[in-house]
């Protein structure tokens, strides 16, 4: 995994779980994903400033959650260098080498707010353990 100063097809985002080990997530930013997020942002934008509106949730599986392994996974804090997320370049098949959480995850959701921020959540299929990530500004990713 290499850091990138320019937009790439993947971002690494700081992630967490209350009980399971989970330190980061990778979001795949395909052109279809960007187009869909632009449509979704257009739906929530008119609600900006409405103090009764919280968020919209969409089922979306463009994310994978991971934990740091003992051997070959990167030092996430070092990579993030104080940022909540960063653009990364992944070698072919590199994601398959990352260590997954103990829970089998299900019910992936993208939570969008009217201010253009969003984050992903997922749940343990049999435990209902919640996994979440730091917020990111979608307008930075879909441009």
From CA 137, how far away is CA 16, in angstroms rounded? 18
Lowest mean pLDDT among 40-44, 66-70, 130-134: 66-70
Instruction: Give yes or no for a contact between 63 and 25, defined as CB atoms under 8 angstroms apart.
Output: yes
Residue 71 has pLDDT above 80, yes or no: no
**74-85: pLDDT as tens digits:** 688 888 988 999
Q: What is the pLDDT of residue 36?
A: 97
Higher-pLDDT residue of 40, 75:
40
Based on the structure, what is the number of domains in the chain?
A: 1
- pLDDT confidence band for 73 (50 / 70 / 90): low
Mean per-residue pLDDT for 16-38?
95
Query: Quick check: helix, strand or coil at residue 26?
Result: strand
Pairing between β-strand 85-89 and β-strand 56-59 as defined by DSSP bridges: unpaired
**Domain containing residue 129:** 2-142
DSSP 67: B
The closest of 16, 25, 139, 22 to 86, measured between CA atoms, is 25
């Amino acid at each position: 995994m290499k850091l990138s100063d320019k937009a790439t097809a993947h971002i690494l985002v700081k992630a967490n779980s209350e009980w399971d080990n989970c330190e980061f997530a990778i979001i795949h930013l395909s052109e279809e994903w960007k187009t869909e997020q632009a449509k979704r942002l257009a739906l929530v934008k008119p609600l900006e400033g409405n103090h009764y509106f919280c968020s919209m949730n969409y089922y979306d599986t463009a994310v994978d959650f991971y934990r740091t392994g003992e051997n070959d996974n990167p030092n996430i804090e070092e990579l993030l260098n104080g940022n909540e997320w960063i653009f990364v370049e992944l070698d072919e098949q590199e994601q398959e080498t990352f260590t997954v959480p103990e829970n089998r995850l299900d019910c992936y959701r993208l939570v969008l707010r009217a201010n253009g921020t969003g984050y992903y959540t997922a749940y343990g299929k049999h435990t209902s353990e919640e996994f979440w990530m730091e917020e990111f500004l979608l307008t930075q990713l879909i441009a």
